[in-house]
Amino acid sequence: MKTDLRKILSVSGEPGLFAYLSQGKAGIIAESLLTGKRTSFGMKARVTSLSDISIYTTEEELPLQEVFLKLKAYLNDVAAPDGKDQKALVAFFDAAFPDYDRDRFYPSHMKKVVAWYNLLREKASLDFLDPEAEEEEVAEVQE
């Protein structure tokens, strides 16, 4: 099954990632990919869809979906380094993404990207829905 990054959420202050389930009266209901527990997040929770996140490169911003696909190709679909060793993590990104912007993409960001990649690899899928192709299909059906 393909993963829709528009429905995979990062919640500030919460570990791991969450799968969007539905809209509740006072916020959203999501399920933790780590624990499988369902949680309601209020309107004040800082929730970000992974489809809205990009990393800085020397030329442009690279959407997280493309980053994950490049990591998957670079790693041959094995787990990424865990991010505990900052020097090893920076060396890994130097090899996997030689054009990342070293002034704006920090090791703390790298650690999150690697953790999210590994979590998606384990609990979901690194085969992603293409939102642009989906929009084209909807447009064709409506015509």
What mean pLDDT do residues 119-130 have?
A: 85
Residue type, 92: F
Residue-wise pLDDT for 9-33, tens only, equals 999 999 999 999 999 888 999 999 9
Please answer whether residues 9 and 18 qualify as being in contact, where contact means their C-beta atoms are separated by less than 8 angstroms: yes
Q: Where are the alpha helices (DSSP H) in the chain?
A: 64-75, 86-96, 107-123, 131-142
Query: 91 pLDDT band (50/70/90 cuts)?
Result: very high
At position 45, the amino acid (one-letter code) is A
Dist CA 100 CA 59 (whole Å):
9
In this structure, CATH architecture of domain 54-123? Orthogonal Bundle (1.10)
Distance separating alpha carbons of residues 30 and 40, to the nearest angstrom? 6
Domain 5-50: which CATH number of 2.60.40, 2.30.30, 3.40.50, 2.60.120: 2.30.30
Q: Quick one: which of 63, 51, 59 has its CA closest to 100?
A: 59
Asked whether the domain spanning 54-123 has the same topology as the one spanning 5-50, the reply is no
Question: Minimum mean pLDDT among 47-51, 62-66, 135-139: which range?
Answer: 135-139
Q: How far apart are CA 21 and CA 102, in angstroms?
A: 36
Q: How confident is the model at residue 134, as a pLDDT?
A: 53
Domain coordinates in residue numbering, the chain: 5-50, 54-123
3-state SS assignment for residue 78:
coil
Average pLDDT, the chain: 87
Confidence of residue 137 (pLDDT cuts 50, 70, 90): very low
Tokens 């447009």 sit on residue = 139
